[in-house]
Amino acid sequence: MSTQLDNVSVVKKSNIYFDGKCVSHNVILADGTKKSVGVIFPSSLRFNTGAPETMEIVGGLCKVRLADATEWNSYGAGTQFKVPGNSYFDIETTETVDYVCHFG
């Protein structure tokens, strides 16, 4: 996985979710692909998805439970997990997690 995104436009206005427990910025690549880059502060949250997503964990450690799953899986820097569209996932973080969300 690359350590940076090159040739992008960044939307200045931040996305703030869950009373500031998750903060991200949208980025648009030269080919029009959209991603979000952000952090999740220590918390237990549920994210709903519209489009399919791949969550790339850049830093930190988290536990994730996908919709309809009973078990939690751990993810740390250099790992990723996929979430189907029109679904959700639960995430627990005990330290700040840096991530890139790839849509589609």
For 21-41, the pLDDT digits (tens) are 999 999 999 999 999 999 999
* pLDDT for 3: 83
Can you tell me the distance from the alpha carbon of 36 to that of 25, in angstroms, rounded to the nearest whole number?
5
Write out residues in the chain with pLDDT < 70, as ranges.
none
Can you tell me the distance from the alpha carbon of 62 to that of 10, in angstroms, rounded to the nearest whole number?
26
Can you tell me the distance from the alpha carbon of 69 to that of 41, in angstroms, rounded to the nearest whole number?
23
Give the domain ranges of the chain.
11-25+33-38+72-103
* pLDDT for 82: 98
Can you tell me the distance from the alpha carbon of 52 to that of 56, in angstroms, rounded to the nearest whole number?
13
* pLDDT for 13: 98
What's the distance, Cα to Cα, between the start and end of the chain in Å?
A: 17
Can you tell me the distance from the alpha carbon of 63 to that of 94, in angstroms, rounded to the nearest whole number?
9
